[in-house]
Amino acid sequence: MIEGFLFLQKNKHMKRFLEIVDEWGIRFVALLILVVFLKTCGTNGKINRLEKDIQSLQSHTDSSLYQIRKEIKIEGLKSEKRMIQSTDRKILDVNRQTEIDKEISQLEK
C-alpha cells in the first residue's frame, strides 16, 4: 500500500514536470537559441580583430626581417674589406675594396 502511495506521489510530480515542460518548453528553446546566436556574433567580432592583429604583426615582422638581412649583408661586406686590408695589397684587392665601399653606402641609404 505504501509503495502504491509513493508511486502516485512520483507520478504526480512527473505529471507536473511534464506540464511545465509543455507550457514553457518552446520559450526555453527560443531563449537558448537566442543566447547561442548572440554568443556566436561576439565570437566573429573577436576573430576579425585577431586577424587584423596577426596581419599587422606579420607586416612588422617582415620589415624587421628585411632590416636584419640588410645589416647582416653590411657586416659581411665590412668583414670582407677588413680581410682584404689585412692581406698583401694587389690591384684586384683595391678594386674590390672600392666595390665593397659602394655596396655598403648603397645598403646604408
Higher pLDDT, 79 or 84: 79
CB atoms near residue 81 (< 10 Å): 19
Cell numbers representing residue 52 in the block? 587584423
The pLDDT of residue 18 is 78
Give pLDDT, residue 3: 55
pTM of the prediction?
Answer: 0.48
Torsions phi, psi for 16 (to 5 deg) = -65, -40
What is the overall mean pLDDT for the chain? 81
Q: What is the pLDDT of residues 24-43, one digit of tens each?
A: 888 888 999 988 888 777 77
- Is the distance from CB of 81 to CB of 105 less than 8 angstroms? no
pLDDT tens, residue by residue, 40-75: 777 777 888 889 999 988 888 888 888 899 999 999
